[in-house]
Amino acid sequence: MSAVSASSQPILDVRSVSKRFGGVEALKGVSLQLHPGEVVALAGDNGAGKSTLTKMISGVYAADGGEIRLDGKPVSFATPEAARREGIETIYQDLALADNLSIGANIFLGREPMRRAFGFLPVLDRRAMAVAAKETMATLDFHVDRLDAPVGRFSGGQRQAVAIGRAIYWNARVILMDEPTAALGVPEQRKVISLIKMLKDQGRGVIFISHNLQDIFAVSDRIIVLLRGSLAGERRIQDTNHDEVVKLMIGG
């Protein structure tokens, strides 16, 4: 079930966006489509514009030119919160978790559920947070035994799972990951790769940036290679190989 039907409507349709930082043209009219249940890898040398592209999708930067469509409708997000409300979540490299809070508290950070104690006093509904955390992590095939433990006690890959769990709890349809495996050891990298597969099986669209061709070939449906802000090439993963991708990356 990995074949992508090009006929289905993309959730995300980026049409020749461009971005300039002072004298630097970080992106020069790059287009990209993402379908439900599809994993697209963004590759390219340092400074190619990968992070800039994902930041434009997630509302961190506004595009100087071009447009972004979500479900066919043109959108322009003023802030990352606005993008998140539409189901576009970013998993940051540094995770952005509060290490001293539990998994549930992190999932709900900023949108905590409340209940009434003694019938009148509003208090945090920790039980609801714990239950949601347990269920959400279970959909990622992670089974948590200590729901009150602060996430700082978990390993890097597990924390990545928590960050992803937060995204899927809030119904992310498009998940952007900027080098999600870069800071992890090899076994942890595998876990993240299997998490990405799981997101795909759940019908979500994933864009992930990686310098690791092994990872890219293990999990992506398509690869998009950027070179100095332009599209160097786009391939379906079964139609290409490491050599070709490397050539695209260095502009050979």
Partner 1 sequence: MVAQMSSKVLVPRKPGTPAKRWILWVAAMRAWLFLALLLIVFEIWSRLSYGTTFVLSSYNAQSITIFAVAPLLLALGETFVIIAGGIDLSVGFIMGLSAVIAALVTNKAGAVLPPFPAMLAGIAAGLGVSLVPGAVNGWLISKLKVPPFIGTLGMFGVARGAAFILASGTTVPVSNSWFAALGNGRFLGFPVIVIIAALFVLVMHYLLGQTRFGQHTYALGASEQAAVRAGIGVGRHTRKLYLLSALCAGLGGVLYTARFTAGAAQAGEPLLLDSIAAVVIGGASLFGGSGTILGTVAGSLVIAVIQYGLVFIDVEPFWQFVAVGIVIIISVLVDQTQRKFGGDR
Ligand X SMILES: Nc1ncnc2c1ncn2[C@@H]1O[C@H](COP(=O)(O)OP(=O)(O)OP(=O)(O)O)[C@@H](O)[C@H]1O
Query: Which residues sit at the interface with Mg ion, rule CB under 5 A?
Result: 51
User: CB of residue 49 vs ligand X: minimum separation in angstroms?
Assistant: 4
At position 105, the amino acid (one-letter code) is: A
**Window 160-179: contact mask with partner 1 (x via CB under 8 A):** -x------------------
Q: Could you tell me the CA-to-CA distances from 10 to 35, 43, 174, 234 in Å, in that order?
A: 4, 20, 11, 16
Least spacing, CB of residue 46 vs Mg ion, in Å: 8
Burial letters 100-135, b for 16+ CB under 10 A, else e: ebbbbbbbbeeeeeeeeeeeeeeeebbeebbebbbe
Residue 82 to residue 172: CA distance in whole angstroms: 13
Closest separation between CB of residue 142 and partner 1, Å? 5
**Concatenated DSSP letters for 42-94?**
EEESTTSSHHHHHHHHTTSS--SEEEEEETTEEE--SSHHHHHHTTEEEE-TT
**Per rule CB under 6 A, is residue 59 in the interface with ligand X?**
no
Among 2, 8, 9, 24, binds ligand X (CB under 6 A): 24
Q: 250 φ, ψ to 5°?
A: -95, 0
Closest contact distance (angstroms) between CB of 237 and ligand X is: 20
Residue 174 burial (CB count, 10 A):
22
Four-point Cα dihedral 12, 87, 180, 29, nearest 10 = 30
Interface with ligand X (CB under 6 A), residue total: 11
Q: How far is the CB of 252 from partner 1 (least distance, A)?
A: 32
Residue number with CB closer to ligand X (63 or 130): 63
CB of 178 to ligand X, least distance (A): 7
Residue 28 CA to its chain's centroid (Å): 23
Map residues 35-54 to x or -, x wherever contact with ligand X holds by CB under 6 A: ---------x-xxxxxxx--
Given the complex with ligand X, which of 95 and 137 has the nearer CB atom? Answer: 95
Residues of this chain, 78-137, that bind partner 1 according to CB under 8 A: 80-81, 84, 92, 94-101, 103, 105-106, 109-112, 114, 117, 121-124, 137
If the CB atoms of residues 48 and 164 are measured against Mg ion, the closer one turns out to be 48
The answer to whether residue 145 forms part of the interface with partner 1 (CB under 8 A) is: yes
Please give the distance of CA 13 from its chain centroid, rounded to a whole number: 16
Binding site residues, partner 1, CB under 8 A: 80-81, 84, 92, 94-101, 103, 105-106, 109-112, 114, 117, 121-124, 137, 141-146, 149-150, 152-155, 158, 161, 190-191, 194, 197
